[in-house]
Structures are given as C-alpha cells and as structure tokens.
A and B are shown apart, each in its own frame.
Chain A
Amino acid sequence: MKTNKLVQLLWHVAFIITVLILLYPILFAIANSFKTNAAAFAAILRLFPVEPVVDNYLALFDKIPLVHIITNTFTVAAIITMVKLITAFCAAYALVFIPVRGSKVLYFLFLLSMFVPFTATMIPNYLTVSAMNLNDTLMGVILPQLVTGSGIFLLHQTMKTIPIAIIDAVKLDDIGHFKIMKDIVLPLLKPQIISTGIWLFIGAWNEYVWPQLILKTKENYTLPLALQLFVSEEKGSNFALIMAMSVVTMIIPLLLYLIFQRQIIGTFTSSGIK
C-alpha cells in the first residue's frame, strides 16, 4: 500500500523502539552472564564486557547436574507437546465437524478450563499423583499436563475457517472421519499445527509451578526449577551466575525459534486455504 513516506518513517521508528525494548533484556542477560559478579555490579550498563569470562557457566556444571536437568526438561516438553497436539486436534475436529447435541456445552467447558485457577487443581492433582507413586518422577510431572484447553480453542478457531463446502464434498464420498482428518484437514492446517506445536513445546519447557510441586531431588529437576535454586540460595548476591543460568534456560527455546523461524513465520504468511 502506498503511503506517505513520512508516515512510513514514523512507524518504522515506533517499531524500532519496540524492538529495542523487547530485545534489551535478552542482551542484558547474555552480557552480564559473561562478567564476574563484581564486574557486573560495577558496570551494569556495559553490553560488551571488558574481560569476558566463562566462569559462571563452568560454575553451573559444578553446582547442579546440568546436563541431566536439560535432558529432563527436553523429555517432559516433548511428550507433553505430542500428546497435547494429538488430543487438541481430535477434539477440535470433533467439535467443528461432528456436531452433536452436547457440542456447545463441551466447548464451553473446555474454554472454561483455561480459567480455572491452578490452585484449585494443584492439590487434587498432587494427591492423585502421589497415590500413583509418581512423586518426584518425570511421569508425575507429565501426566496432569497432557491436555490443553487453549490448544483446543486455537485449533477450533482455525478449523472453523475451513470452508465447510470442502468437508461436505468429501462427505459425499463417504470416506470416514479419520481419513478426512488425516488427508484433508491436517495438510490444510499444517502451518497452524506446527506453530501450535512449537508454542506448546516452549510452554512445557518453561513450566515452573507444577514441576516445583512434584519434583524433589535435584537430578529430576527441570530448568526453570533449577534456576530458582540459585535465587533462593544466593539471594541477589551472585547476579552474574543467575544471569548465566537464565541464559542456559533461554537458549534452547531461542535456538529452536531461530532455526524454525523461517518455517514458523513463513508459514504464517501463506494461507493454505486459498
């Protein structure tokens, strides 16, 4: 769209400022993780450390079983994402294309579940998981997180944008829902599904509240949990170390993002429907 060059410039300025604000914390954390604690306090504004050190990162490996924690986090996130995606996809499909008498009520309940304060479900879930002897295990962390109201909501909204004419045309051929799901809806919605999957993965990776309740021994921890360790032990004193741990926690999601951003963002701009 042709607009006034000045208007364009002003918008660019607005965007640049926004980007700077959004990215600064990341740069801040990375920069300060490479300084010693003393240097960090002395020159907090400096984005490029005078004498970069990796001491903080090395210290991380000493203080906690870092590698194990990373694999834990990855396992938990991967399983949760897979199951959430499959259940949300099937549920959304059923809600949109197989209307039955209770559909609207069910949909309403799914939505409502997003608003339930986690405090209400924490205790019952904890008691259930304990009764199954899954305390302090990764399975105990995974089990209650296998479904998502928001996943169903998102896929529901996107499925509704598929012209119903397509589905009706196929129904004439009497193929059966499973095939329709697999061969028509799935390919059409691939971009949304991929990006939902990535988003779910990140969410599961960064999940903090529930793992905190279930996991007790450090070997079983997930990353965000381990990060909290540093804050309670050395309350604010080892700032640089906390920054280093933050960077480690951030790095996998960020790397995933940077690798897949072509796909994620690229697929967003093509509308598979047309």
Chain B
Amino acid sequence: MIRPDKEFVGLKNYIDLFMNPVFYKVLKNTFLYILILAIVNCAIPYIFAFVCHFVFERFKEFYKIAIFMPAFISLVVGSMIFMWILNPLSGPVALLLRNFSITLPVWNITEGLAIVVISLITSWRVFGYNFIILYAAVSGIAPDVIEAAKLDNVPLYKVFKDIVMPMSSATGLYIFVITTVMGLQYIYTPISVLTKGGPNDGSSNLLYLSYHEAFVVFNSGNSAAISMVTIILFAIFIVILFKFVESRVHYENE
C-alpha cells in the first residue's frame, strides 16, 4: 500500500467510485446518521436547555451534572459497555423486554436498525455536551429581554422560538456544525467496535468506507478518492450553511 512508485491512473479511482453501488449506499447512510444525530442532539438538547433554565425551579444543578457526565467517557468504552447492555441474548435490555414478550432483534445484523442503534450510542455521549453548551448560551441571554416578554405575557414556546433561539444562535450554529462533524467522524468508533461496517455495508459511512478501503482491502487509491469526495461534499455544505444561515445569526458586535 505504501509503495514508493505508484501508477498514475488519472481519474480511474473516481470513476470506479461513482460506478460502485456501495458508494451510494454509504452516502445515504452518512446522511441518515447526520440526520438522526441532528434531531436527537441539536433539537432536543436545545429544548431541554431552555426548559431547564426557564421552566424548572429546583434540581437544575443535579440535572446539569447528571446529563453532562457521559460526555466525559471515551466512546470506545461507551461502545463496549453498550455492546453488553444491548446484547440481544443476555443483555439487560433484552431481559427486560422479554418480560413484556418482546424479543430484541439482533440489531447488528439488521440493516436499518444498526444505523439507529449506533446513532443512539453516539448520541448518548454527544447529548450532554450539546446540552451544556446550549444551556450556557440560553442562560447568558440578557434577562431584561426575558422580563419584557413576561410582562407582555408571551407564551413560553414563543419565547423560545422568537427570542431565545435567535439570541443564542451563534452557539446554536456551532452546535449544529459540531454535531455534523461528529456524525461523520465520531461515529467511526462504534462502527469499528460493534459492526465493522455492518450487514453488507449497512452501517458504514463515508469515513468508515475510506478506512475500510485503505486498511482492510489495501486499496489506498480508492480510499483517497473517497476522502477527497467527502471533503468536497462538506466544503459545499459549509459554504451553503454560512451563506444562508450565518447571515441570520446574531452576534453581539455586528
């Protein structure tokens, strides 16, 4: 693989890639991972942060400490623990479900399910971090604005949608981008520990495919092509994001 003299084959790797059905499957998976992560780890922590700060009167500290904890644990460790917890034969979840006569499907060989489970395991870790960061942003909003809204009797969800969200959008944007990065890169670890690309590349994503091509099949040309395609795709993503979203983000000094 690391031969000093490589044959120049022009665009062959790229052509092979675009004609390979696995590429499109993996592309779809990548998108799915990011989608699930965005919903579970952007939308929900945002709402939770808002509720924790504005709705709750007690127990705030406890919730913050507890929710943030898993963020400090290695994903390798987390994947391994979850491997045991979600073991379809003897794991606690399976045993518990058996009491309700539900059998836990063998998720690591079930195509759709593998992606969902891996997303959730990654979410377990990412949720806390996003929650805390968003909580910081939400609690940093000038209280006078909120007071004014209270005086005008603005309903809670409106306060969230029209005041809190826009004013903390700088952080919101950060969280969204970081979560996308995690959807791409972090997810490699659970895939590697639990399914190795999954049933028929069913749980593989762009990153894992790149790794697989380089280190399992020893096809570094393909791997590099995949990496380049990934970079270009996400470069476009960032450009679009910043053009359309960032202009609406509120920064204090503009």
A residues near B, CB below 8 A? 1, 3, 7-8, 11-12, 15, 18-19, 21-26, 28-29, 32, 41, 44-45, 108, 111-112, 114-120, 122-123, 127, 150, 153-154, 157, 160-165, 199, 202, 205-206, 208-209, 223-224, 227-228, 231, 239, 242-243, 246, 249-250, 253-254, 256-258, 261, 264-265, 268-269, 271, 273-274
| Given known A199-B129, A256-B72, contact A23–B66 (CB-CB < 8 A) | yes
Query: Considering the complex, which residues of chain B in the window 62-91 have a beta carbon less than 8 Å from any beta carbon of chain A?
Result: 63-78, 80-82, 84-85, 90-91
Q: Is there an interface contact between B81 and A28, defined as CB atoms closer than 8 Å?
A: yes
B residues near A, CB below 8 A? 2, 48, 51-52, 54-57, 59, 61, 63-78, 80-82, 84-85, 90-92, 95-96, 124, 127-129, 132, 135-136, 139-140, 142, 150, 156, 159, 170-171, 173-174, 177-178, 181, 184-185, 188-189, 206-207, 210-211, 214-215, 220, 223-224, 226-228, 230-231, 234-235, 237-239, 242, 251-254
* Contacts A/B (CB < 8 Å), 8 sampled: A26-B69, A41-B90, A117-B230, A119-B210, A119-B211, A120-B228, A208-B76, A271-B140
| Given known A123-B220, A246-B77, A257-B69, contact A117–B63 (CB-CB < 8 A) | no
Q: Is there an interface contact between B92 and A202, defined as CB atoms closer than 8 Å?
A: no
Query: Which residue of B is nearest A154, CB measured?
Result: B174
Given contacts A25-B70, A253-B73, could you give 13 more A-B pairs where the C-beta distance is less than 8 Å? Answer: A1-B55, A22-B124, A22-B127, A24-B85, A44-B84, A123-B214, A153-B177, A199-B129, A228-B76, A239-B84, A254-B72, A269-B136, A271-B139
For A239, list chain B residues within 8 Å (CB).
84
Tell me how far the C-beta of B28 lies from the nearest C-beta in chain A, rounded to whole angstroms. Answer: 17
Query: What is the predominant secondary structure among interface residues of chain B facing chain A?
Result: helix
Most central of B66, B70, B76, B220 by chain A CB within 10 Å: B76
Q: Is there an interface contact between A268 and B136, defined as CB atoms closer than 8 Å?
A: yes
For B124, list chain A residues within 8 Å (CB).
21-22, 25
Query: Which residue of A is nearest B82, CB measured?
Result: A25
Q: Is there an interface contact between A3 and B156, defined as CB atoms closer than 8 Å?
A: yes
Bound Cα distance A253, B74 (Å): 9
Q: Is there an interface contact between A160 and B48, defined as CB atoms closer than 8 Å?
A: no
For A242, list chain B residues within 8 Å (CB).
80
Q: Is there an interface contact between A116 and B231, defined as CB atoms closer than 8 Å?
A: yes
Bound Cα distance A206, B73 (Å): 7
Q: Is there an interface contact between A246 and B81, defined as CB atoms closer than 8 Å?
A: yes
Tell me how far the C-beta of B226 lies from the nearest C-beta in chain A, rounded to whole angstroms. Answer: 7
Query: Which residue of B is nearest A250, CB measured?
Result: B73
Ordered nearest first, which 3 A-B pairs have the shortest CB separation? Answer: A206-B74, A120-B227, A164-B253
Q: Is there an interface contact between B227 and A117, defined as CB atoms closer than 8 Å?
A: yes
Query: Which residue of A is nearest B193, CB measured?
Result: A231
Query: Which residue of A is nearest B228, CB measured?
Result: A120
Bound Cα distance A209, B76 (Å): 10
Tell me how far the C-beta of B243 lies from the nearest C-beta in chain A, rounded to whole angstroms. Answer: 11
Bound Cα distance A165, B253 (Å): 8
For A161, list chain B residues within 8 Å (CB).
170, 251-253
For B214, list chain A residues within 8 Å (CB).
119, 122-123
Q: Is there an interface contact between A224 and B74, defined as CB atoms closer than 8 Å?
A: yes
Q: Is there an interface contact between B69 and A254, defined as CB atoms closer than 8 Å?
A: yes
Q: Which of B69, B132, B206, B234 contacts A268 (CB 8 A)?
A: B132
For B239, list chain A residues within 8 Å (CB).
108
Query: Which residue of A is nearest B234, CB measured?
Result: A115
Tell me how far the C-beta of A80 lies from the nearest C-beta in chain B, rounded to whole angstroms. Answer: 15
For A273, list chain B residues within 8 Å (CB).
140, 252
Tell me how far the C-beta of A164 lies from the nearest C-beta in chain B, rounded to whole angstroms. Answer: 4
| Given known A123-B2, A160-B170, contact A261–B76 (CB-CB < 8 A) | no
Q: Is there an interface contact between B227 and A119, defined as CB atoms closer than 8 Å?
A: yes
For A120, list chain B residues within 8 Å (CB).
210, 223-224, 227-228, 231
Q: Is there an interface contact between A153 and B238, defined as CB atoms closer than 8 Å?
A: no
Tell me how far the C-beta of A110 lies from the nearest C-beta in chain B, rounded to whole angstroms. Answer: 11
For B231, list chain A residues within 8 Å (CB).
112, 115-117, 120
| Given known A3-B156, A265-B132, contact A15–B185 (CB-CB < 8 A) | no
Tell me how far the C-beta of B220 lies from the nearest C-beta in chain A, rounded to whole angstroms. Answer: 7
Tell me how far the C-beta of B126 lies from the nearest C-beta in chain A, rounded to whole angstroms. Answer: 11
Q: Is there an interface contact between B139 and A28, defined as CB atoms closer than 8 Å?
A: no
Query: Which residue of A is nearest B213, CB measured?
Result: A119
Bound Cα distance A120, B84 (Å): 32
Tell me how far the C-beta of B89 lies from the nearest C-beta in chain A, rounded to whole angstroms. Answer: 11
For A117, list chain B residues within 8 Å (CB).
184-185, 206-207, 210-211, 226-227, 230-231
For A153, list chain B residues within 8 Å (CB).
174, 177-178
Bound Cα distance A161, B137 (Å): 11
Bound Cα distance A247, B163 (Å): 42
Q: Which of B64, B170, B251 contacts A265 (CB 8 A)?
A: B64
